[in-house]
Chain A
Amino acid sequence: MSYLGLNAVFLGLAALVAAVALWRRPAARRLYAASALALVAVLVLTAVFDNIMIGVGLVAYDPTLISGVFVGIAPVEDFAYPVAAALLLPALWSLLAEHPPGRTRSTTRRTTRTRTGRMTEATHPTGPTGLGHTVRQVLLSSRPLSWINTAFPFAAAYIVTTGRVDALLVVGTLFFLIPYNLLMYGINDVFDYESDLRNPRKGGVEGAMLEQGLHRTVLISGVATALPVLLLMLVLAGANPWSWLVLAVSLFAVVAYSAPGLRFKERPVLDSVTSSIHFVSPAVYGLAVAGALVTPDLVALLAAFFFWGIASHAFGAVQDVEPDRQGGISSIATAFGAAQTVRLAIGFWLLAGLLMLVTDWPGPLAALLVIPYILAAWPYRSISDAESERANNGWKRFLRLNFFTGFLVTMLLILWVVLR
């Protein structure tokens, strides 16, 4: 039996189940529209990952039993698996679960960039107190949704440079995953609380991110989780002065952003620069600690990331121009005005894209990634300060874009490694 023959049997079975489902549950037709869309996404993933899996030797095929049509090095027959999933799984689901419970969730949710200068969402659960509640609040204060934003740059930089998985990678990723964010956002929430209190227009106590009773706990958890992991990381990294310097700058930026006295988040331009350092420095640390060779390429890439971060922070500040001014708080957007800041952001995104053009193949492909950002900000290029709140729609688009861009950057990185 050939691979095609085998697939015909199992695709036939899957199609049969699909037919039964459509007959018993006519409403399943809608589900199949969604299934077609999901299939497109999974086929793309299959094209990428099947090639990798075959490339590293996880699976092999008898060349006489396959059709000889390949997508890269993957036999085209492999794509029958996702096709079968698209036929079979929605059928089973519609037969078993299509009496939708329509459950809604009880936590209220709001997208916040306000006052934190951050690209995250926060939840405001109301309810019980106790140890579980405390742990939950502390974890929430570290913005679990954005853990990946700092861990990924480190892990990617380290793995791409060293090409191996080792203890330092695991410990470093852990550090930039949780303790780093607990420090960064914890300090931010604690000290924003005080300036929120001084500013009744911001909602006073109600608007605060973190209840006051937990301030000490959050700060202590940040330091207590960061210290041991940090020490372990330093021991594993060995004597590497450059990496110490980078780590020092990184941690300084974490503290300086919101700690009283420094409050870089309220200093125009410095706010965007510091925010960008929060995301770029884990990558630079990963490179430094892995002993990466400093090439013009690499510098261009890091500069592009840095400018992307500046642009993103600046654009995020636009929606808060009015409330910030009323509260007597400065930001890059209150200093330049809404329209000017949007244009500045567009300019920095453009610069990031241009820098990517000078990197090694397939780096220049990443230049395309800045286009959706520029398009998202473009409608607000002439926005007045009074109506700057409208930029919030662009910001929401920006947040969604980040997931998509993160995915594409990862694919590019994999491609880059494969090509080396």
Chain B
Amino acid sequence: MLGFAYLLALLVSLTGMVVLDRRFCLFFWRAPRAAAVVLAAGVVFFLAWDLVGIFAGIFYRGETAFMTGLQVAPELPVEEIFFLTFLCYLFMNALQGARVLLERRRAA
């Protein structure tokens, strides 16, 4: 149960991103195809960054009971993919949210 804590937290957070996206038409609900490409490209970019960092021995998987222990590559827990997806989704939602705010300010 505890091993899924981090994954669960990430999934809950991702769900939050999807709900916000849907409610305010931010990312996938604005341009689904472009959003899919941006998200995939972002995750691949950050995964590459992670892998090079792991290969160089800069950072590694921590000792914790909060992760499932499943790894997609040495020292790269499966949770990291969800984390990077969340990071990119969060940023794109925040970006469109900020844009709407700025446009509203300009219009006012």
Contacts and interface: CB of A to CB of B under 8 A. Distances in A.
Chain B contact surface mostly: helix
A31 B95 contact: yes
Contacts of B62: 54, 56-60
A33 B98 CA distance: 9
Contacts of A57: 62-64, 66
A131 B4 CA distance: 35
B20 to A, nearest CB: 10
A31 B99 contact: yes
Given A58-B6, A92-B37, A101 B31 contact: yes
B71 to A, nearest CB: 13
A35 interface: yes
A110 interface: no
Nearest to B32: A97
A97 B34 contact: yes
A30 B5 CA distance: 39
Given A3-B58, A89-B38, A37 B64 contact: no
A6 interface: yes
Contact of B58 (A65, A84, A103): A65
A293 interface: no
Contacts, number: 130
B81 interface: no
B98 A37 contact: yes
A37 B101 contact: yes
A347 interface: no
B102 A37 contact: yes
Interface string B56-85: 111111111011000000000001000000
A82 B30 contact: no
A56 B99 CA distance: 35
A82 B34 CA distance: 20
B12 to A, nearest CB: 11
A93 interface: yes
Interface string A73-89: 00000000110111011
Contacts of B67: 58
Interface string B1-24: 110011010000000000000000
A238 B32 CA distance: 48
A41 interface: yes
B73 to A, nearest CB: 15
Interface in A27-58: 30-31, 33-35, 37-38, 41-42, 45, 54, 56-58
B31 A97 contact: yes
B63 to A, nearest CB: 5
A105 B26 CA distance: 13
Given A33-B102, A56-B64, A96-B34, A41 B58 contact: no
Contacts of B52: 6, 9-10
Contact of A65 (B25, B56, B87, B102): B56
B25 to A, nearest CB: 7
A101 B63 CA distance: 47
A105 B60 CA distance: 46
A187 B22 CA distance: 28
Interface of A: 1-3, 6, 9-10, 13-14, 30-31, 33-35, 37-38, 41-42, 45, 54, 56-62, 65-66, 81-82, 84-86, 88-90, 92-93, 96-97, 100-101, 103, 105, 165
17 contacts: A3-B59, A13-B45, A30-B102, A33-B102, A35-B95, A41-B98, A57-B66, A60-B59, A62-B57, A84-B45, A88-B41, A89-B91, A89-B92, A92-B38, A96-B33, A96-B37, A165-B1
Interface of B: 1-2, 5-6, 8, 25, 30-31, 33-35, 37-38, 41-42, 45-46, 48-49, 52-53, 56-64, 66-67, 79, 87-88, 90-92, 94-99, 101-102
The 6 lowest CB-CB distance pairs between A and B, nearest first, are A97-B34, A38-B94, A57-B64, A34-B99, A96-B34, A37-B98
